[in-house]
Amino acid sequence: MTNIQQKERNKEIVKLRNDGVSCQEIADKFSISKQRVTEIYNRETTRDLIKREKKTKWSSHYPNFIKEYKEGSVIQEIAKKYGCSTRTVFMALKKEGLTGRGRQMLFV
């Protein structure tokens, strides 16, 4: 199972669980154990809470980082423009699910 398939499966598990489907029914559907369904559900819902609650002083700039990156800017340029670290920009892009453009994502 690829990472993308696994993420989609996990989203479906959360959705089904939130819709009231039992862990055993979900486990049967995905051919996994009931315990694994519970683990995935707890991890995914906790991760969502952490994502929603965790704000940094740079959070308001994340949309700008993403826009500029999609327009072709590299991480170092974005970080320099906003006066933050390259790690801050990298993590914002990672949270958005953007993958690298080869070495250009990390190094100019």
For the chain, domain boundaries: 3-53, 59-105
User: According to the model, what pLDDT value does residue 44 have?
Assistant: 87
Classify residue 91 as exposed, middle or buried by CB count within 10 Å of its CB (0-12, 13-18, 19+).
Answer: middle
The reported pLDDT for the residue numbered 52 is 58
* Low-confidence spans in the chain with pLDDT less than 70: 48-54, 99-108
Is this prediction's pTM over 0.75? no
For position 106, what pLDDT does the model report?
Answer: 47
**What pLDDT is attached to residue 104?**
47
Please give the structure tokens belonging to residue 26. 């979900």
